Chain A
Amino acid sequence: MNNEYDVCVIGSGAGGGPVAWTLARAGHSVLVLEKGPWFHTQDFYKDELACCRRSVYTPELKNEQHVLEDENEDGSWTATPTSESGRDFWNGNCVGGSSNFMSGFFHRLKPVDFHQLSEFGPLAGSNRVDWPIDYEDLEPYYDKVEKIIGVSGKFSQHSNAEPRSSADFPFPPTQEHAISGWIDDACAQLDYHALQVPRAILSRPHNKRRSCEYSGYCGSYGCASNAKGSSRAALLNDAVNTGHCHIQPHSKVDKLISNAKGQVTAARYFDRQGEVHQVRAKIFVVACQAIESSRLLLNSSGPRCPQGLANNHGQVGRNLLFSAGGSGSGDFAYQDLSAEKQQQLKVVGPFVNRALDDWYVIHDPAFRQQAHKGGIVEFLFQHPNPTGKANSVKWNSDGKLRWGLPLKRQLESWFTTDRTLNFEVFNDWQPNDNCFVTLDPKVKDQWGTPVARVRTGIHPFDLQVGDYLAEKGKAVLKQMGAVRIRGGASSSPPPNLVAGGCRFGSDPKTSVLNADCRAHDVDNLYVTDASFMPTGGAVPYTWTIYANAFRVADIISARMTG
């Protein structure tokens, strides 16, 4: 390995991959330092234990953890290390990051997401702002993601459709389950518009990647065919093949070292054996996923930044975002269906690919007199993992354990008499003063570095929006004939849907990064994961992370070629 590169990228997921891909193809020398191991396609199987019940793709909490602050009823906050609570806040820590394990239902932000403050005005308790770029700045890169990462879908014009530069998606839609048609029918009866959702999953082979094999086990599993558009499968393999990109797994960066001029000179990291190394580069790109990126900067104090790198105005870690919303579900009892529909419903493999974005902006006087930002409702089957499902059956309705023959009869009923359709609501998590990352004063990781302490406060208005949208999801399930319909908003922060902490903006006093995602006060430091987002929008983040990282990669490339 060299000890000096043009660019050092820390983190190899959706934020790091586009930078490595772009710059390596442009002939620059790129080093990617990844904390976790490098699983290859031939290491991924539909193995519930590996994916979901053991820490195979994430650190053991005794070695690396978070400290989470939850709000008590009296408004105080209680901090609990996750090694005590067992509440795992890690996502995929391996080459390709959590993009290996996404479900891949992809949504662009809409133009309104880029100027929420101007559009909707201030909201007490919310720190929402306008972005320093517009949708038009990002659109070419959303388009690029469709082609490079591979997005499968069918575009149809509708009132909430985002402007596009390509007429349609480069790959036809993935195969769809019969229930998608049932959703379409129900929505038509309700006068809702059922949106056909594109997926970052190949419906046709492309660039040495096979097309989807429709096993029905997608979200939270690594892809055995490379159809899923992970950073690993879609970008990093190509980047390595240029001969200009070196990916180094098992390399935990604990500090970026900066000089008296305020520039980053080296990344310090631990290898698998715990040996400390330093590597130099002209430009450093941080993409560790939002919480860990803020943590790395806060742990990287230097002669010009005693409070942490890029933190001279105390902004790093502030305005952390999750995805607000909630979920719901309904059951379709086989006994209520025709034999044909039963057979249709039991099919495992094809995708649902349906969502509602009719209330992306809510124009409903019964909700608010003024228009307000809403969100989407996404439909999907209950996760097929059987062990987690079975394990929940051991508790009866009184909260007591059941076992023996009653347990067996309940298992039979639970597994064989119906199928559950879920919906998930995505709406904005208002940036607020009670959602942020700091360094824990006591708890350290296995390398002796302070861990991230995360306060996860949600703005109460987000729950109202989530409930409003959940009612729409429940209405669809009811129209479809589902039984046992339940659902609503939740204040629980989903740890796989996290952004912010290093928001970009034009004012160094209120933002960490400029519009190019370069640190205001560190000339050679960029952040390209979801940390840059000052408001989250009301869709999952991955497409936007990819698009913005491609955008910033072009900016860096132009700078390097001068």
Chain B
Amino acid sequence: MIRRNSVPESQNEMSDSQSGLQQWHSQLLSRRRFLLGLAGGSVAALFPAVCLPLSSKPATIDEWAILGQVQQHLLPDEADSPGAVKIHALDYLRFVVQDPWVDADERQFIVQGSHWLEDLAHSREQTSFLLLDQARREQLLQQIADSSAGENWLSTLLLYLMEALLTDPAYGGNPAGTGWQWLQHTPGYPRPPADKIYPKLNV
């Protein structure tokens, strides 16, 4: 029997963390209330620290191109260690965003964040996030991380990057266990075959 506490972002994972209950509880409430209040959000909602003139951002944007570039910034590929591209993080995120088992507000939040980031890029840099160099992308992401809402969005993307890196390849990330190999992690067995991943359990 492992002593379990319910901890933020980890669903019902068994945890050994016992300390700081009140602290994480208040953080968690902040996160959940934020997500619940998302509907109709704007760039000011996501990045309240930034006062913005309306930008010349086009009406439609390539949400997934932006999400993919942010993922690559957050977890870059290197010659001897995998990053977002090598672990198929964008494909994995598409699975997450279509997965009814994931909180609907969170799925909306992930995609909507790309719009808000693009708004900010146009307002601050007068161009698309996709056209910024690495240094300016870093600057922009650091700015949004200073707001709790922006930090939430980046934190959510990082969570699903870690899932793409280390969950079973049957879910689309971590191809051939490349993330496990990098971090010398031994997976459990038996591993789920493609017809036994959780959306396909027919019970």
Contacts and interface: CB of A to CB of B under 8 A. Distances in A.
A348 B15 CA distance: 19
A52 B6 contact: no
Contacts of A216: 186, 188
Contacts of A53: 10-11, 13, 163, 167
A401 B154 contact: yes
Chain B interface helix/strand/loop/mixed: loop
A43 B13 contact: no
Given A56-B201, A490-B19, A384 B73 contact: no
B41 interface: no
A75 interface: no
A107 B196 CA distance: 34
B197 interface: yes
Interface stretch (A18-26, A136-144, A174-182, A410-418): A410-418
A492 B22 CA distance: 9
B14 A56 contact: no
A386 B180 contact: yes
B139 interface: no
A416 B180 CA distance: 11
Contacts of B5: 490, 492, 494-495
A154 interface: no
B6 A55 contact: no
Given A45-B192, A329-B16, A105 B1 contact: yes
Given A103-B2, A387-B167, A215 B189 contact: yes
Interface in B153-203: 154-155, 158-159, 162-163, 165-168, 170-171, 180, 182-193, 196-198, 201, 203
Given A325-B3, A496-B1, A50 B166 contact: no
Contact of A219 (B2, B191, B193): B2
Interface in A309-330: 323, 325-327, 329
Interface stretch (B27-35, B57-65, B113-121, B123-131): B27-35
A415 B163 contact: no
Interface of A: 37-40, 42-43, 45-50, 52-56, 58, 70, 80, 84-91, 94, 102-105, 213, 215-217, 219-221, 224, 249, 323, 325-327, 329, 348, 380, 382-388, 390-391, 394, 400-401, 403-405, 407-408, 411-412, 415-416, 422, 424, 426, 488-492, 494-497, 540-542
20 contacts: A46-B190, A48-B168, A49-B171, A52-B11, A53-B11, A219-B14, A249-B203, A383-B2, A383-B14, A384-B188, A394-B159, A403-B141, A403-B154, A405-B76, A412-B81, A415-B184, A416-B183, A424-B2, A489-B18, A496-B14
